[in-house]
């Protein structure tokens, strides 16, 4: 009974903390709406930031599949993002080196196929080895992809970049900013619901077992190489979709966009939100963008102007400080996945018998539900 009461008290404390986090997010949303209504914030600027948050959320969800679900260390987020962006740009922009001018749907399809193919190529020699080999290979892949795009100018336009990328759904009776914001919200909803379903499935439970103890998963008869390959490909495809969306959001792409800093930001978003949590990945992306973009206007504050200090270039310092605070007070992130090892009977309040049933699931996983997220 003491174990059950301890679990209940911890759950209540955790739920109260999450309610405070969501209340804070709601307050920020209200302030943004008030800012738009009063003219302090331009609607177009806000919609562009929403689209940017959505793109980062897709990247975070993709990395969460790889690192949060399966424990795969991928430092090539920018590479797969760039693959998606250039697939969309090359196939849809009339003045690209290919000059095809196809519908954006073909750009998204090409991004999915090419990213999946490259993910398989990089995964075949590395996923059977230790995790650090994948980290090294993915880090090299990011630079290789960037170098190819920069130097193969007859195919990629090189350092000149590709312009004239068409907007998405231009036939809708909305502004271009509103359309892109609506598209990214739709993409996030589809990806989130898909990941929520697979995370709760036996496939997701096996991945969590692999992440915590791969030898145990092998002893239970699971083909860990196959499961890790699937997670790596799915995460890479989601990153490529985010890249294709960015091409139609920015309407221009060049190799300077494929900087390693993008990968750094996405890792921060996943860690801040809570490793393994889909909700956390989305919230972490919003926090990173809020800091990165919000700090641009610090110098416009009257008090800061009187100090004569340029704070805008210190955004990375602020991000680092936030990481320290989160790791100090919320070691599992802002919205960590809940009840990962709790059987449904225990979560439904069936008592000590259900609570003691937490453990390895019959199908070889470590959870029967995977939490509310998740």
Could you please report the per-residue DSSP string of 271-314? HHH-TT-HHHHHHHHHHHHHHHHHGGGGGGSHHHHHHT---GGG
pLDDT at 312: 66
Q: Which residue has the higher pLDDT, 360 or 58?
A: 58
Question: What b/e sequence results for 241-266 when a residue is b if at least 16 CB atoms lie within 10 Å of its CB, and e otherwise?
Answer: bbbbbbbbbbbebbbebbebebbbbb
The answer to whether the beta carbons of residues 108 and 186 sit under 8 Å apart is: no
118 or 328, greater pLDDT: 118
Q: What is the mean pLDDT of the chain?
A: 82
Looking at mean pLDDT, say which of 124-128, 146-150, 233-237, 298-302 comes out highest: 233-237
Q: What is the mean pLDDT of residues 312-341?
A: 74
pLDDT value at 345 more than 80: no
pLDDT, position 324 = 83
In-domain check, residue 172: yes
Query: Regarding predicted confidence, which is higher, 296 or 28?
Result: 28
Residue 201 lies in a domain: yes
What's residue 260's pLDDT?
A: 86
- % residues pLDDT > 90 (the chain): 35
Total-model pTM:
0.84
Range of the domain at 199: 53-257
Q: What is the pLDDT of residue 292?
A: 81
Answer whether residue 328 is part of any domain: no
Lookup result for tokens 């993915």: 138
Distances in Å between the Cα of 54 and the Cα atoms of 20, 103, 216 are: 23, 22, 37
pLDDT digits (tens, 9 = 90+) for 238-288: 999 999 999 999 999 999 888 888 898 999 899 888 888 899 899 999 988
Asked if 205 contacts 358 with a C-beta cutoff of 8 angstroms, the reply is no
The confidence score (pLDDT) of residue 359 equals 41
Contact 76, 145 (CB under 8 A): yes
Number of domains composing the chain = 1
CA distance 209 to 333: 20
CA distance 235 to 199: 13
Q: Region 85-110: what's the mean pLDDT?
A: 92
Torsion (CA) 178, 184, 187, 188 in degrees, nearest 10 = -120
Handedness of CA 303, 309, 311, 317 (dihedral sign): negative
Indicate whether 90 belongs to any domain: yes
What does the pLDDT read at residue 299? 65
The per-residue pLDDT for 367 is: 42
Q: pLDDT category, 306, cuts 50, 70, 90?
A: confident
Q: Is residue 175 part of a domain?
A: yes
3-class SS of residue 357: coil
pLDDT band at 365; cut points 50, 70, 90: very low
HEC secondary structure over 339-355: CCCCCHHHHCCCCHHHH
Helix or strand holding residue 163 (H, E): strand 162-163
Q: Return the ∠ at Cα 134 (arms to 132 and 138), rounded to 5°.
A: 120
Kindly give the interhelix angle for 104-123 and 131-151, rounded to the nearest 10 degrees: 140
Q: How far apart are CA 23 and CA 334, in angstroms?
A: 13
Q: How confident is the model at residue 5 (pLDDT cuts 50, 70, 90)?
A: low
Measure CA 165 to chain center: 24
The alpha carbon torsion through 81, 85, 91, 96 (nearest 10 deg) reads -130
Asked if residue 235 belongs to a domain, the reply is yes
> Is 55 or 351 the better-scoring residue by pLDDT?
55
Helix count and strand count (H, E) for the chain:
16, 2
Query: In this predicted structure, what is the pLDDT of residue 369?
Result: 43
Q: Is 374 inside any structural domain?
A: no
- The alpha carbon of residue 72 and the mean position of all alpha carbons in its chain are separated, in whole angstroms, by 14
17 lies in some domain: no
pLDDT at 368 over 50: no
């Amino acid at each position: 009974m003491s174990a059950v009461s301890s679990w209940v008290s911890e759950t209540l404390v955790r739920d109260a903390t999450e309610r405070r986090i969501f209340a804070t997010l709601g307050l920020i949303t209200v302030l943004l709406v008030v800012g738009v209504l009063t003219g302090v914030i331009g609607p177009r600027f806000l919609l562009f930031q929403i689209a940017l948050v959505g793109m980062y959320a897709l990247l975070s969800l993709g990395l969460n599949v790889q690192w949060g679900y399966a424990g795969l260390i991928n430092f090539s987020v920018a590479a797969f993002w760039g693959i998606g962006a250039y697939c969309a740009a090359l196939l849809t922009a009339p003045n690209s080196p290919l000059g095809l001018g196809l519908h954006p749907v073909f750009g998204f399809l090409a991004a999915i196929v090419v990213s999946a193919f490259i993910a398989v190529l990089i995964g075949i020699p590395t996923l059977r080895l230790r995790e650090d080999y994948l980290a090294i290979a993915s880090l090299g892949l990011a630079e290789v992809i960037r170098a190819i795009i920069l130097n193969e100018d007859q195919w990629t336009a090189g350092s000149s970049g590709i312009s004239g990328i068409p907007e998405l759904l231009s036939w809708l009776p909305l502004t271009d900013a509103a359309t892109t914001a609506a598209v990214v919200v739709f993409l996030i909803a589809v990806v989130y619901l898909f990941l929520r379903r697979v995370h709760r499935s036996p496939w997701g439970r096996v991945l969590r077992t692999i992440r915590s103890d791969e030898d145990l998963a092998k002893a239970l008869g699971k083909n860990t190489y196959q499961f890790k390959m699937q997670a790596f490909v799915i995460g890479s495809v989601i990153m490529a979709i985010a890249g294709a969306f960015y091409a139609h959001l920015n309407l221009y792409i060049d190799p300077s966009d494929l900087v390693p800093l993008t990968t750094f930001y996405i890792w921060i978003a996943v860690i801040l939100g809570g490793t393994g949590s889909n909700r956390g990945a989305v919230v972490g992306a919003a926090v990173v963008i809020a800091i990165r973009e919000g700090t641009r206007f610090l110098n416009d504050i009257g008090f800061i102007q009187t100090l004569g200090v340029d704070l805008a270039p210190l955004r990375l310092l602020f991000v680092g400080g936030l990481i320290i605070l989160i790791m100090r007070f919320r070691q599992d992130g802002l919205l960590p996945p809940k009840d990962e090892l709790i059987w449904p009977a225990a979560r439904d309040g069936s008592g000590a018998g259900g609570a003691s049933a937490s453990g390895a699931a019959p199908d070889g996983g470590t959870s029967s539900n995977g939490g509310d997220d998740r």
